[in-house]
């Protein structure tokens, strides 16, 4: 299990905080294949909410439903007390959702700074013509956005690579840059798709610390998909467990650990 500095202070925020997003009876099909079957759960403001399950359980499909990439055939998504209609991913981003990807999706030829700046696109209001001339309001706007990006660079401790092309970075730092780009959008909900995948122990410890700091210092609500059960149990306030597109568990880490169906399907068969 990865030891995280703030894990011992974790509380069940989900029990006391208001619902930020509510997913009701979500069903998603691809032809005859049911990827998600009648699943409901909520995401509460300021919590770290994990989604776990074996490979093929439907976790990434659920994250894609939340982000607007997939539109479910059945069910409703409520955000801040209002039913969310079908939206394009960029429209969902404007509502305040940002994400990282299981497979890193950065621009290898661009610097770390420029990659993170792309996360500010929804914050830039100047016309394309003004931005091309870099004049007047467009200049002031870019300076302001650049200042926000510099704060994120300092926060994630990547000052020394800010001008380095991303393609030259080791895997763990690329993951950190992708987190920085998502944070640049100032999300209400941050979606993390296996942020620890492919990392060594030291890199995982660093990423755990940054996730906890983002949640604590920025108050960002985080939805996390992760296979490392030590990470999940240390970081999360509440956990949803999926298996073959169904929800088989939902609760605090301790409640999930004690759920017989979860033990059988995901954690292994319990022994006397």
Do 15 and 57 fall within a single domain?
yes
Do 174 and 91 fall within a single domain?
no
Which strands make up the sheet holding 82-83, listed edge to edge?
Answer: 33-44, 19-30, 74-79, 82-83
Do 177 and 232 fall within a single domain?
no
**Listed residues 140, 164, 186: the one ending a domain:** 186
**Listed residues 163, 186, 209: the one ending a domain:** 186
Do 68 and 147 fall within a single domain?
no
Do 4 and 82 fall within a single domain?
yes
Do 120 and 68 fall within a single domain?
no
Q: How far is CA 38 from CA 76, 81, 217, in A?
A: 11, 21, 35
Cβ neighbour number for residue 207 with a 10 Å cutoff: 24
**Listed residues 160, 186, 212: the one ending a domain:** 186
Please state the pTM of the whole predicted model. Answer: 0.84
Angle at 234 between CA 95 and CA 119, to 5 degrees: 30
Do 89 and 209 fall within a single domain?
yes
190 with 220: CB under 8 angstroms?
yes
Q: Is residue 253 part of a domain?
A: yes
Do 182 and 53 fall within a single domain?
no
- Is 159 exposed, middle or buried (CB count within 10 Å of its CB: 0-12, 13-18, 19+)? exposed
**Domain of residue 153, residue span:** 110-186
Do 80 and 120 fall within a single domain?
no
Do 153 and 202 fall within a single domain?
no
Q: Is residue 101 part of a domain?
A: no
Q: Is residue 102 part of a domain?
A: no
Q: How many domains does the chain divide into?
A: 2
Do 182 and 72 fall within a single domain?
no
CATH of the domain at 235: 3.40.50.300
Could you read off the pLDDT tens digit of each residue along the chain, which spans 272 residues?
Answer: 333 333 333 345 555 789 999 999 999 999 889 999 999 999 999 999 999 988 888 999 999 999 999 999 999 999 999 999 988 888 888 899 999 887 777 888 899 999 998 888 766 665 454 555 555 566 677 788 888 899 999 999 999 998 999 999 999 899 999 999 999 999 999 999 999 888 888 999 999 999 999 999 999 999 999 888 888 888 999 999 999 899 999 999 999 988 888 888 765 554 44
Q: Is residue 81 part of a domain?
A: yes
Determine the number of helices (DSSP H) and then strands (DSSP E) in the chain: 10, 10
């Amino acid at each position: 299990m990865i030891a995280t500095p703030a894990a011992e202070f974790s509380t069940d925020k989900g029990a006391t905080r208001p619902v930020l997003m509510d997913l009701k009876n979500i069903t998603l099909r691809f032809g005859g294949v049911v990827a998600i079957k009648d699943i409901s759960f909520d995401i509460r403001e300021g919590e770290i909410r994990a989604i776990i399950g074996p490979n093929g359980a439907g976790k990434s499909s659920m994250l894609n439903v939340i982000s607007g990439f997939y539109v479910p055939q059945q069910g409703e998504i409520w955000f801040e007390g209002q039913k969310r209609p079908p939206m394009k991913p960029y429209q969902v981003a404007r509502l305040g959702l940002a994400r990282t990807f299981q497979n890193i999706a950065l621009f290898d030829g661009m610097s770390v700074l420029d990659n993170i700046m792309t996360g500010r696109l929804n914050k830039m209001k100047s016309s394309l013509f003004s931005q091309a001339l870099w004049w007047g309001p467009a200049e002031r706007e870019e300076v302001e956005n650049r200042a926000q990006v510099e704060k994120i660079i300092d926060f994630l401790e990547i000052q020394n690579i800010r001008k380095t092309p991303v393609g030259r970075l080791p895997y763990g730092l690329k993951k950190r840059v992708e987190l920085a780009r998502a944070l640049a959008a100032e999300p209400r909900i941050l979606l993390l798709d296996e942020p620890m995948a492919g990392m060594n122990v030291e890199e995982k410890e660093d990423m755990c610390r940054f996730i906890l700091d983002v949640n604590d210092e920025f108050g960002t609500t985080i939805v996390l998909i992760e296979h490392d059960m030590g990470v999940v149990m240390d970081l999360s306030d509440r956990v949803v467990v999926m298996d073959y597109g169904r929800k088989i568990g939902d609760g605090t880490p301790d409640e999930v650990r004690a759920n017989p169906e979860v033990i059988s399907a995901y954690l292994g068969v319990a022994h006397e």
